[in-house]
A = this chain, B = another copy of it.
């Protein structure tokens, strides 16, 4: 594995490759070409090869990638060979929706316990036997179950207070649905989820269309793959501004 800076976009694309490889494996496909795998992730084959090159040499020229082997390698890189236990803090509508979302368990993320700071939520059976625990029980659960991941979905004004507790308990990664920035020490990572920022990207494109009001794109000479979307962060089938994380 080369010791160099790996772009965030590469890691995100690894997740996309991994999901597609899982589907292929489930469908009994044994070998996939770089062009097909690249297409699914909406990058060009050169980008795919560059992404993989950070981690070694894969595939056979003219043949393609062995699906099971590449899936195993990428899953290993992403740390997804085993299940991850996750604590959820926040028993509001977002927390409830996440608990019910099938994608988490499908990807090996298991909600171990649900906590809330609001006494009104504590003790309630939120979803399928997930009884909301008081935040004071958090340290014990995290320690006993050796949990490193937390999903934070409390009201924004409680975000920092809860983040401090999570960090104190040894949590290393926080998926933060609160719109406030939280401060965490080195060694702890935070991913923010703000749906409205993604909407802004859409309104930007729609607005640029309205302003330009004509069909010719500044990127009309780009090859098709470059005009495809860069799932999951940005998809553009409009291409007027060529918004793409892959370029």
Contact = CB atoms under 8 A, between A and B. Distances in A.
A13 to B, nearest CB: 10
Interface stretch (A59-67, A96-104, A117-125): A96-104
A202 B202 CA distance: 26
Contact of A189 (B97, B98, B187, B205): B205
A16 B181 CA distance: 11
Contacts of A58: none
A103 B5 contact: no
Most buried by B among A14, A195, A200, A233: A200
A73 interface: no
Contacts of A244: 5, 7-8
A188 interface: yes
A131 interface: no
A101 B79 CA distance: 32
A188 to B, nearest CB: 6
Nearest to A176: B235
Number of copies: 2
A103 B194 contact: yes
A189 B202 contact: yes
Nearest to A98: B195
Interface stretch (A30-38, A45-53, A137-145, A224-232): A224-232
A186 B238 contact: yes
A84 B191 contact: no
Contact of A229 (B79, B97, B190, B210): B190
Contacts of A100: 92-93
Contacts of A179: 19, 103
A175 B195 CA distance: 8
B202 A191 contact: yes
A247 B7 contact: yes
Contact of A18 (B8, B16, B79, B200): B200
B236 A109 contact: no
Contact of A232 (B78, B107, B194, B245): B194
A188 B237 contact: yes
20 contacts: A7-B244, A8-B234, A9-B245, A78-B204, A86-B199, A92-B100, A93-B96, A94-B101, A96-B97, A103-B196, A107-B200, A149-B206, A172-B206, A173-B202, A185-B237, A187-B209, A189-B235, A190-B237, A193-B232, A245-B245
